[in-house]
Chains A and B, each alone.
Chain A
Amino acid sequence: MKFEVPKKYVEKFMEKYGKDADIDKLQAAYERSLITHGEDVGVIAAQSLGEASTQLTLRTKHAAGIATLNTTSGLPRIVEIFDAKKEISTPTMNIYLKEEYEKSKQKVAEFANRIMEIKINDVVSSYNMDLKRREVTLLFDREVMKSYGFTLRDVEKLLSNMKLEVEASENSLVIRDKTADSVKKLIRLRNKIVGLTMSGIKGINRVIINETDDKRYWIMTAGSNLKDILKIDEVDQTRTTTNDIIETYEVLGIEIARNLIIKEVSETLENVGLAVDIRHIMLIADAMCFSGEVKGINRYGITGESSSILARASFEVPLKHLINASLEHDVDEFKYVANNVISNQVAPVGTGSVKLISLDYGRKSEGKTDRKNKEE
């Protein structure tokens, strides 16, 4: 099989040696640089990342008192990405606005205030509950409310489509619910009301405005809601990203999620000063996204799907897998690396993946690994 040399290399080759240089030489050099058949790339990728991450553990830093967002970094972040966690510990977004907006600090700040989620909780100073009358009284902080630009009316309006009796006085609301006949129900009612979003976009808890060198402003947020942010007109869809891989997968698709895995992992490693070749990360990202959805490298994800019992057992909770396999009469064909290593056999890796074929007699040797035979 002839391998096509990527355009990037052809262009660089031409640049260096002129247009009529011998392209076959490049072809030969390129093919020599390719990885050999049967190379255990997965094991090498695992080792390359595993070795580096042992050094990460001790370097978890805690920067106190710095007014930036505290995002998970180092080993916890790497684990989070590779486990394909649904709820990551510190979701953040980098929001860029379209060019006409991003140069004006005022416009960016206005936008930032608009997207920040303000819950009723943020404008309530205290509350009372009265079980006898089955009512919750919310006392509002006028000053704070004014600074956000709300009035009591807005809160009333928000509550109007819930089946509640609302009574407003100067700066408090009395909310009556006839069905709330226990303290538990009253507390639940209060929590429900207090958690309502008054303005902004759900999930965006904090916003920080950053400035680039050429006086452009962009927003960093705590909390993430890619779907709703991208729908806003001012937002530049090409650059706005979140660090939540599962969310990206749901909104933008598997390919972008795969690219985000690579980006996040390499950035995390770079930030702690480790150099792992990007090819290893690419391989792992491809493996995670092979099935069309993002799967973590754990027993619920790609490892759990392995058809080999011993490979699964050697990863996590061995007894469970072995007992289930024996109950179900499962068969392990010893096709993969892990089970062959366990049973002290030649693993189908490197030279182990090839069988000798004698062409002189015109017939192939009939080995178990026949499907992988390669003419040498």
Chain B
Amino acid sequence: MDIDIFANRLSPKYKILDSNEADSILLRFKCSRSNLPKIRMADPAVIALKANEGDILEITRASKTAGEAVYYRVVIR
């Protein structure tokens, strides 16, 4: 059986942002891609999502304090 990393209870929800959404995120935080938290190309989640370098992932985490929290990571090599 293949490992389904999204099946794990600790796994958040991932979404690849399209270029419009990515730009609006950068505008909202007033930062560039290099300031965002990073995620490696070799990361199992990135491989499973087939994301490319420079893509921004929207990560919706289950949070004990806020219920749901949104986090962003940029894919790097």
A interface residues with partner B (beta carbon < 8 Å): 6-9, 227, 230-233, 235, 237-239, 241, 251-256, 259-260, 263, 278-279, 282, 286, 289-293
Contact = CB atoms under 8 A, between A and B. Distances in A.
Contacts of B68: 6-8
B59 interface: yes
B3 A251 contact: yes
Contacts of A290: 37-38
A9 B10 CA distance: 22
27 contacts: A7-B68, A227-B3, A230-B1, A230-B3, A237-B3, A237-B7, A237-B8, A238-B7, A252-B3, A252-B10, A252-B44, A253-B44, A253-B46, A255-B45, A256-B8, A256-B10, A259-B10, A278-B64, A278-B65, A282-B63, A282-B65, A291-B37, A291-B38, A292-B37, A292-B73, A292-B76, A293-B40
Contacts of A238: 7-9
B67 to A, nearest CB: 3
B43 A254 contact: yes
A231 B69 CA distance: 30
Interface in B1-17: 1-5, 7-12, 14
B39 interface: yes
Interface residues of B, number: 31
Contacts of A291: 37-38
A197 to B, nearest CB: 21
- The 9 A-B pairs at the shortest CB distance, nearest first, are namely A8-B67, A292-B38, A253-B45, A259-B10, A6-B66, A253-B44, A292-B40, A237-B7, A230-B3
Contacts of B33: none
B40 A254 contact: yes
Given A7-B67, A241-B8, A291-B38, 8 more contacts: A6-B67, A238-B9, A251-B3, A253-B45, A253-B46, A255-B11, A256-B5, A290-B37
B66 A259 contact: no
Nearest to B7: A237
Interface in B22-75: 37-40, 43-46, 59, 61, 63-69, 73
A282 B66 CA distance: 12
Dominant secondary structure of chain B at its interface with chain A? mixed
B12 to A, nearest CB: 5
B38 A231 contact: no
B39 A252 contact: no
B10 A263 contact: yes
B45 A254 contact: yes
A139 B27 CA distance: 72
A12 B70 CA distance: 20
Nearest to A228: B3
Contact of B12 (A251, A255, A292): A255
A237 B11 CA distance: 11
Nearest to B77: A292
B3 A253 contact: no
A252 B9 contact: no
Nearest to A12: B67
A7 B60 CA distance: 13
